[in-house]
Amino acid sequence: MAVTYRNDDFVLQVRDNDAAVSNIVNKYDAFLEALSGTHYAFQTEAIKTVLKFLLSSHYKNTGDLATENFDHNTKLQSYYDHTLHNYLSSFALADKKSVSIDLATGTGKSFAIYGLARVMLAEGLVDKVLVLCPTLTIEEGLKDKFFQLSADPNLTAILQELDAVYLNPGIKSANDPILAGDICVENIHAVYDRTGSSIRDSFTGKGGRTLVLNDEAHHIFSNADQATKRWLDFLQNPEYGFHFIVNFSGTPYIGDRYFPDIVYRYSLKKAIEARVVKQVDYALERLIGVDCGYEETYQNHLLNQQTYGGQLKPISIIVTEKIASCVEVWNELVNFIASKENLNRQQAEKKVIWVASGIPSGNDGIRVKALVDKADKVRRDNVQLLKTVDDAQNPVEWIVSVSMLTEGWDVKNVFQIVPHENKAFNSKLLIAQVLGRGLRMPSGLGGNAMVKINNHERWTQQIADLYRDVLEIENRLSWGYSEAQQGFVFELHNIDYQVVQQTEEVKSKLASEPEHIDYSPQSRQYEESTTYIRSGKVTTLIDNRDIFTIDEAVKRIKLFLKDKDEELSIRWTAQRITGLIQNNLARTQQETDFISQVNLLKTQYAFGPMFRDLGKVSPRYEMKPNNLIFADMHKLNRQSFSESALKNHTHVFYSDNQEADLSDDEKPLWKSFLAVREIAAKYGNDRIKDDEEYLLSNLHPTSKADFKSPTNFIVT
């Protein structure tokens, strides 16, 4: 069986148990508890883990920490082909004390950044702290948060009792000189672009006594993020000599590859389970007849207004890959909202905004400017609107955004995310970024708040798998041939088919003109059914856009006939075509004042035989069984079923000791399933949580005598 890698397998363990280090780390427990509280204790754990590494004399740099972990971690060895050099080459800053923290978006990275900065200054381990981020918007958000926390007298009082070396750090930007004891918050562009910046004067030659904290650190290592690739150059610049570097990100991926230097991880799954962020309600199954446009998205938005409208203003966001398509989707959505709510264009535009990090050049820029006058001014105004978009007085209800957005969001009222195209969701980084837009929990809202993921397109299996990996909600169990069940192996064959020409047809006379057409059922509306993982099945009535009036259909048929055969077009007058369509609609007991696109095509096809040339030979083929191919059950690929499928319609039959055929990673999950059933059997079903009842109804224990299958499970 192939080795399965989880993000937890790559988290570095800090193994130094030096008492002196532990004493310093534990010294700040009261401060960290006051900062984070019990519900956010993971922030304290993250800070203490980093402190332990930065203080440790056991590790001179990150390379030492990585080497120790490689020696102890078989998963790391396997992933990097058992070659330490391959592993170490994945670290950009191995020669420094540089590590990363993975805190899921919406779990309070800014608190962890601030807490680590205050402790390092209080202990006198550094003289200055430099906090870097990718944009001015994020910079302003961090400074606002830091000013609020610095004004908390309780935090200052605790550090005063601990005899802090630097008690009240100044919160500054690079416009001012950065003095000992200061925390400088700056966006990376200003660090090397702004005239009059104090960065060079304040930090040249002082990197050894400076702590650098990088927020949204995935931008540092992104190959696609050209605007911030100089960030890494700045950190490596020997003029500064930075040594203590800590990266923070809720999406620590380089494409699909997890950061190699993570020392603490608080995953999306943990945050969702602890109700720190919203639960994710994603589409398991989608049954649709034709493209439904924005109709289901709109109905979901109305449902969110009904559910949460008494407490706040729900927001829906639509995510595209590129800026040009972002603006085009915005334009479509404005038109849709205007039509749906009987608004004029100006009124609809107040409800819908687009957000991007810039205006592209070339053809994409032309596409944007064709729809938006003074596009860059509108873009900047929209970014400003984001700051108050949660307020009830702000009219914005819909946001269209690009997926890889450098601007920071602190929007908490998002209750629907619509990935408009697969390319907006085609890597773990993009998926985590998009999900992060809607995970923040509004204050005062209960822990059952959900953000619905309503994908506009059908996802490819690859994207569905990436999505499940990021959320870690698709626990899976494998099933297939079991050696213990070999007595029930039976012969299995596949049929090999080949294409065989059966006949040749020569047309000797003209085909008769169409009279009877077997039209399919048609309607002005149809139902779309989508099944979500948490809220279940949602059915939406959609207006069918692919229908035509009879006059429109007749004109299309006339053009079709004229293109194929001028003489035939003359014989088939508009009145005659109208009669053909309406008579067949009436014959199939359907309304006769419109026709669906499917039935319009059937009308065209009905004329097809009349266009075939006389005397032309037309071969006829069919598939014929050719051979039987033996399928060795011992070698058939193992399959798997997911926990979410089990919660819905999947049933699993099993007998004793089935876990023997599971991998070590799978066994704990199976044992947890059985433990729930044992509790129910011993104490009654009322002891089982509502979200565990599926384990009683969809798992079926079977006696060994009755379990006559060559597989470890039977899955239906």
User: Which tokens in the block code for residue 478?
Assistant: 């494998």
Contacts of 639-643 with C-beta under 8 Å, sequence gap 24+, read 639/478, 639/479, 639/480, 639/715, 640/476, 640/477, 640/478, 640/479, 641/476, 641/477, 641/479, 641/713, 641/715, 642/468, 642/474, 642/475, 642/476, 643/473, 643/474, 643/475, 643/476, 643/669
Q: What is the pLDDT of residues 191-234, one digit of tens each?
A: 876 555 788 889 999 999 999 999 999 889 876 655 556 899 99
What average pLDDT does the chain have?
85
* Whole-number Å distance between alpha carbons of 16 and 27: 17
* Residue 289 pLDDT: 43
Whole-number Cα distances in Å, 654 to 435, 474, 642, 711: 36, 21, 16, 9
Q: What are the φ and ψ backbone dihedral angles of 508, each rounded to 5 degrees?
A: -110, -15
- The amino acid at 442: P
Q: What are the φ and ψ backbone dihedral angles of 342, each rounded to 5 degrees?
A: 55, 50
* Whole-number Å distance between alpha carbons of 452 and 463: 17
535 neighbors 452 (Cβ within 8 angstroms) = yes
Q: What is the pLDDT of residues 560-584, one digit of tens each?
A: 888 888 888 888 999 999 999 999 9
3-state secondary structure of 188: helix
Neighbours of 469 (CB within 10 A): 16
User: Which tokens in the block code for residue 424?
Assistant: 């907006």
CA diameter of the chain = 105
243 neighbors 97 (Cβ within 8 angstroms) = yes
Token match 């400076």: residue?
Answer: 210
Q: What are the φ and ψ backbone dihedral angles of 13, each rounded to 5 degrees?
A: -95, 125
For the sheet with 536-543, list strands across it. Answer: 352-355, 398-402, 315-320, 414-419, 450-453, 279-287, 525-532, 536-543
> In this structure, which topology does domain 7-266 adopt according to CATH?
Rossmann fold (3.40.50)
135 neighbors 302 (Cβ within 8 angstroms) = no
DSSP letter at 421 equals S
* H helix or E strand, kind and range, residue 623: strand 617-630
Q: Cα 641 from chain centroid?
A: 21
Q: What is the pLDDT of residues 81-140, one digit of tens each?
A: 889 999 999 999 999 999 999 998 889 999 999 999 999 999 999 999 999 998 888 898
* Whole-number Å distance between alpha carbons of 40 and 59: 29
159 neighbors 118 (Cβ within 8 angstroms) = yes
Q: What is the pLDDT of residues 328-352, one digit of tens each?
A: 999 999 999 999 999 999 999 999 9
Q: What are the φ and ψ backbone dihedral angles of 121, each rounded to 5 degrees?
A: -75, -40
Number of residues that make up the chain: 716
User: Which tokens in the block code for residue 429?
Assistant: 């980084």
Q: Which of 279-283, 301-305, 606-610 has the lowest mean pLDDT?
A: 279-283
* Whole-number Å distance between alpha carbons of 536 and 471: 18
* Whole-number Å distance between alpha carbons of 432 and 409: 14
- The amino acid at 130: L
> In this structure, which topology does domain 275-474 adopt according to CATH?
Rossmann fold (3.40.50)
Give the mean model confidence (pLDDT) for residues 367-392. Answer: 90
Percent above pLDDT 70 for the chain: 87
* Whole-number Å distance between alpha carbons of 557 and 572: 9
Sign of CA dihedral 123, 129, 131, 136: positive
Our CA angle for 377, 216, 276, nearest 5°, is: 105
pLDDT band at 693 (very low <50, low <70, confident <90, very high): confident
Q: What residues are paired with 498 via a beta bridge?
A: 624
Concatenated DSSP letters of 122-179: HTTS-SEEEEEESSHHHHHHHHHHHHHHHT-HHHHHHHHHTT-SS-S--EE-TTS---
- pLDDT of residue 432 exceeding 80, the answer is no
Q: What residues are paired with 701 via a beta bridge?
A: 654
* Whole-number Å distance between alpha carbons of 278 and 436: 10
Range(s) within the chain of domains with CATH label 3.40.50.300 = 7-266, 275-474
Q: What are the φ and ψ backbone dihedral angles of 498, each rounded to 5 degrees?
A: -135, 155
pLDDT band at 473 (very low <50, low <70, confident <90, very high): low
315 neighbors 389 (Cβ within 8 angstroms) = yes
* Whole-number Å distance between alpha carbons of 294 and 283: 16
420 neighbors 318 (Cβ within 8 angstroms) = yes
pLDDT band at 6 (very low <50, low <70, confident <90, very high): confident
Q: What residues are paired with 101 via a beta bridge?
A: 248, 264
Sign of CA dihedral 412, 416, 420, 424: positive
pLDDT band at 2 (very low <50, low <70, confident <90, very high): very low
* Residue of 498, 495, 480, 496 lying closest to 640 (CA atoms): 480
599 neighbors 572 (Cβ within 8 angstroms) = no
Q: What residues are paired with 536 via a beta bridge?
A: 532
User: Which tokens in the block code for residue 180?
Assistant: 């000992």
48 neighbors 32 (Cβ within 8 angstroms) = yes
3-state secondary structure of 280: strand
Q: What is the pTM of this model?
A: 0.68
3-state secondary structure of 288: coil
* Whole-number Å distance between alpha carbons of 328 and 6: 38
- pLDDT of residue 463 exceeding 60, the answer is no
Concatenated DSSP letters of 303-353: HHHHHHTTTS--EEEEEESSHHHHHHHHHHHHHHHHHHTT--HHHHHHHEE
* Residue 464 pLDDT: 62
Whole-number Cα distances in Å, 399 to 164, 445, 486: 45, 22, 57
The β-bridge relationship of strands 97-103 and 244-249 is parallel
Our CA angle for 429, 430, 431, nearest 5°, is: 95
What end-to-end distance do the CA atoms of the chain give, in Å? 23
User: Over the range 25-38, which residues count as b (16 or more CB within 10 Å of their CB) and which as e?
Assistant: beebeebbeebbee
Neighbours of 587 (CB within 10 A): 12
3-state secondary structure of 406: coil
* Residue 290 pLDDT: 44
149 neighbors 177 (Cβ within 8 angstroms) = no
- pLDDT of residue 553 exceeding 80, the answer is yes
Q: What is the pLDDT of residues 626-641, one digit of tens each?
A: 788 887 887 777 888 8
* Whole-number Å distance between alpha carbons of 112 and 106: 12
pLDDT band at 649 (very low <50, low <70, confident <90, very high): confident
User: Which tokens in the block code for residue 123?
Assistant: 């202990």
* Whole-number Å distance between alpha carbons of 691 and 337: 37
Phi-psi group of 37: left, alpha or beta (phi > 0 → left; psi -120 to 50 → alpha; rest → beta): left
- pLDDT of residue 247 exceeding 70, the answer is yes
DSSP letter at 481 equals B
